[in-house]
């Protein structure tokens, strides 16, 4: 791995754009935003949907700026609130590796290779759009990701990946129309319903109050006991969360705690949510309040108020 956003990636910008060892603010803001959006898009399409993903884990920051043309350094955020969940290290590595693969393609200028690594148009289209925006931010100015050792007095700059222009014609060739599957008529429509049951003269009478489509469920999930792989948490009261089915996967979300569990089945989503709950409870309570942001301190306080006790 030649590029590591955990340690920091150096981007050298030459030509007129970087000749004064500086970058115009509007250009810096745009290329940083486009780079950020590209990483978010990679995370969305290259990490398994069965695993809980917090997009904040892939936020980057400008962590350095050096001379020798203009050399901004971008790194994954080291802020505590942008390192949530127990899989964030693994997920960052996945995104970093796929980002480097895209840089290899840019270095060769063979953008048609995107069809090979993203054969499905539903994944390829957003990657193409975001990569196109980023690599073309530099106009006619030469730009490269470089090896740069900032600890040495005499700086040595070695080019790793050159950023080549992404031609509009190549972009058009890569983009594909995504045709939605036409829904087939069905005589049976499955769903969920809230039913009121009353008894009259010994007979039960069922009356439907509300109906929920099976294709788009949005109900409540309120556990009083949370069972993770390591610990069992007994709560003082039910933890009310949103439970939803979105296309082919299930989502359980506590907006207050910032926890999301996902899975291809309800059980997998519950297990994912439980592991996230266990991780943030242990993580936040291992840190002093002075080490946490105001928002995280509030979440920590709520967690401790919510949990009666836990056992291994």
Question: Using one digit for the tens of pLDDT, what is the confidence trace for 64-107?
Answer: 999 878 999 999 999 988 888 788 999 999 999 999 999 999 99
Identify the weakest region by mean pLDDT among 65-74, 162-171, 189-198: 189-198
**Of 37-41, 47-51, 198-202, 221-225, which has the strongest mean pLDDT?**
37-41
Residue 92: both structure tokens together: 């960052």
Question: Using one digit for the tens of pLDDT, what is the confidence trace for 99-147?
Answer: 999 999 999 999 999 999 999 998 999 999 999 999 999 989 999 999 9
C-alpha distances (whole Å) from 65 to each of 62, 150, 163, 231, 263 are 8, 10, 19, 45, 41
Closest to 130 in 3D by CA, of 253, 39, 222: 39
What is the pTM for the complete model shown?
0.61
CA distance 149 to 157: 8
CA distance 304 to 285: 9
Query: What percentage of the chain exceeds 70 in pLDDT?
Result: 85
Q: Contact at 8 Å (CB) between 148 and 90?
A: no
Please report which confidence band the pLDDT of residue 169 belongs to, taking 50, 70 and 90 as the band edges: very high
The residue with tokens 């350095």 is 64
Q: Contact at 8 Å (CB) between 285 and 300?
A: yes
CA distance 31 to 137: 6
DSSP 136-162: TTTTTS-EEEEEE-TTSSS--EEEEEE
Please report which confidence band the pLDDT of residue 34 belongs to, taking 50, 70 and 90 as the band edges: very high
Provide the residue ranges of all domains of the chain, joining segments of one domain with +: 9-174, 215-311
Q: Which is more confidently placed, 94 or 244?
A: 94
Closest to 57 in 3D by CA, of 258, 304, 264, 275: 258
């Amino acid at each position: 791995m030649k590029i590591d956003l955990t340690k920091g990636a150096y981007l050298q910008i030459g030509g007129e754009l970087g000749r004064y060892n500086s970058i115009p603010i509007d250009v810096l803001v745009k290329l940083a935003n486009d780079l950020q959006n590209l990483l978010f898009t990679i995370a969305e399409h290259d990490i398994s949907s069965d695993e809980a993903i917090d997009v904040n884990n892939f936020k980057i920051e400008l962590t350095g700026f050096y001379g020798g043309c203009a050399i901004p350094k971008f790194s994954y955020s080291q802020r505590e609130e942008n390192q949530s969940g127990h899989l964030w290290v693994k997920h960052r590595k996945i995104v970093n590796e796929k980002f480097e693969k895209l840089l290899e393609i840019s270095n060769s200028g063979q953008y048609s290779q995107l069809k090979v690594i993203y054969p499905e148009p539903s994944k390829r289209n957003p990657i193409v759009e975001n990569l196109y925006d980023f690599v073309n931010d530099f106009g006619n100015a030469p730009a490269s990701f470089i090896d740069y050792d900032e600890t040495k007095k005499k700086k040595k700059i070695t080019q790793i990946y050159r950023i080549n222009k992404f031609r509009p014609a190549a972009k058009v060739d890569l983009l594909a129309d995504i045709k939605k599957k036409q829904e087939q008529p069905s005589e049976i429509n499955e769903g969920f319903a809230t039913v009121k049951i009353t008894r009259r003269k010994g007979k039960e009478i069922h009356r439907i109050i509300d109906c929920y489509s099976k294709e788009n469920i949005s109900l409540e999930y309120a556990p009083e006991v949370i069972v993770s792989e390591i610990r069992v948490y007994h709560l003082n009261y039910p933890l009310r969360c949103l439970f939803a089915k979105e296309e082919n996967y299930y989502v359980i979300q506590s907006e207050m705690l910032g926890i999301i569990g996902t899975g291809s089945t309800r059980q997998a989503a519950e297990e994912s949510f439980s592991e996230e709950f266990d991780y943030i409870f242990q993580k936040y309570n291992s840190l002093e309040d002075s080490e946490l942001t105001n928002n995280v301190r509030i979440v920590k306080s709520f967690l401790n108020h919510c949990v009666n006790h836990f056992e291994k």
